[in-house]
Amino acid sequence: MPRRIPIRFSTRISEMRIPKKCTPFLPVLAGAVLLIALTTNDRLVPLGPPPIPPDNPQAVDEDGFPLASDPKVELGRILFFDNRLSGNASISCADCHSVDFGWTDGSDLCRGYTGTSHWRNCQTLINSAYYDKLFWDGSSKSLEAQAASAAMGAVSGNGERDMMEERLRQVPEYVTRFRDVFGTTWPNLGDAWRAIAAFERTLTQTNTPYDRYLRGDASALTDAQVAGLELFRGRAGCIACHNGPLLSDQRYHALGVPENESFEFDALRQITFRYEQYVKGVTEEQYRKTKTDLGLYYVTKREEDTGKFRTPSLRYTLYTAPFMHNGVFFTLHEVVDFYDAGGGKQKGDDGTGTPVLEPLGLSDAEKDNLVAFLESLSGEEIRMERPEMPPYGTLK
């Protein structure tokens, strides 16, 4: 994601207005805040508008936020809910990224395509526009690519390119809408992904209590949440990875998250686990022996990337349980407990790498405060009606 320097400076200045109970020492404090701002604190900033790729432009408001009224977005919204963008025309993007479950499917491991089970947790689409890469292992480089990948993967959408494209062309309303938006005689599948991505870029949330607090509204957070914020950027060390406007460093880390036990007793998950080893191009020996998700390794094939997953944003987590790449934690409390205990078994434990997590020794009250703060990272739940699907028609 392109870092927009001017915004970051302006928000950093606004952040200097946040001190509570310290006004008598304002000059001293200002200096201290500036010092901190130049080190770690500068990475806590409100969320601005999402980046928009030059090859998929869309209409934005005066602040740079994508407009829902853009015809491209309207088209994308219909496509997002359209089952015809899957193999058997039974599921749409909105089935795994459901408005009823915080734009996830609410399961620890994603439901997957009919007759299959997926093997990772579905991530929310809210604020997905800010990621530079998509999927837990960053295997997709844009929302456009992610949409195509999800619609076509055998355990996700299982759609086939030509069939999906011809279905779109068989819908007179789509023919008109694609022509209006993209200027083509017939709908092209690549444009469908562009429209869906444009729609997804409207799914942002930048007015959380946390954002309002950073913009100077000291009353936006409760005392417990402020205490949690201090722990977050202080002793608990969360900010080491969960930083920046998105509260994600967009990097990949191995934390030793516990295995999801359903792989041990669910035949469909076992099938998919092996299938993923196969399709991600590991060696024969790795295919035989691997029993844990290798994460970023599948993309880079570098030993040191084994078991690393992209730091997720903490925004909107009030609605997106369960958590982690394999959904093993069902509450934010469980997540905090995991980090409090120093994470799980990591590479560093067996002498092959550097441990990144240490036990935190948080009290129960501190954990509560931390969770209270995490809850301030979500605003109102974003919901949406399923649009009416345009019917097939006969082509003359």
Residues that bind another protein (CB under 8 A): 83-84, 86-90, 113-116, 154-155, 158, 160, 162-163, 165-167, 169-170, 186, 263-268, 270-275, 277-279, 287-291, 392-395
Minimum distance from residue 280 beta carbon to another protein (Å) = 11
Q: Which is nearer to another protein, 359 or 393 (CB)?
A: 393
Minimum distance from residue 169 beta carbon to another protein (Å) = 7
Minimum distance from residue 87 beta carbon to another protein (Å) = 5
Q: Name the phi and psi angles at 353, rounded to 5.
A: -165, -175
Minimum distance from residue 283 beta carbon to another protein (Å) = 12
Q: Which is nearer to another protein, 10 or 170 (CB)?
A: 170
Minimum distance from residue 88 beta carbon to another protein (Å) = 4
Tokens of 88: 């058997």
- Per residue in 40-64, is it b (16+ CB within 10 Å) or e — as a string? ebbbbbbbbbbbbeeebebebeeee
Sign of CA dihedral 36, 41, 43, 48: negative
Q: Which is nearer to another protein, 56 or 83 (CB)?
A: 83
Residue partners of 319: CB distance under 8 A and separation at least 6: 101, 102, 103, 124, 126, 378, 381
Q: Which is nearer to another protein, 8 or 169 (CB)?
A: 169
Minimum distance from residue 81 beta carbon to another protein (Å) = 16
Tokens of 292: 């844990």
Q: Which is nearer to another protein, 151 or 231 (CB)?
A: 151
**DSSP E strands: which ranges in the chain?**
252-253, 309-310
Cα(89)–Cα(95) distance, rounded to whole angstroms?
Answer: 12
CB atoms inside a 10 Å sphere around CB 224: 17
Q: Is the peptide bond before 322 cis (omega within 30 degrees of 0)?
A: yes
Tokens of 294: 């290798």
Cα(189)–Cα(184) distance, rounded to whole angstroms?
Answer: 11
Minimum distance from residue 161 beta carbon to another protein (Å) = 9
Q: What's CA 23's distance to the chain center, in Å?
A: 38
Q: Which is nearer to another protein, 51 or 172 (CB)?
A: 172
Q: Which is nearer to another protein, 112 or 244 (CB)?
A: 112
Q: Which is nearer to another protein, 21 or 265 (CB)?
A: 265
Minimum distance from residue 213 beta carbon to another protein (Å) = 45
Q: Which is nearer to another protein, 61 or 160 (CB)?
A: 160
Tell me the CA distances in angstroms from 170 to 50, 163, 236, one per residue in order.
33, 11, 55
Give, as one character, the DSSP assignment of residue 239. G
Minimum distance from residue 268 beta carbon to another protein (Å) = 7
Cα(131)–Cα(364) distance, rounded to whole angstroms?
Answer: 33
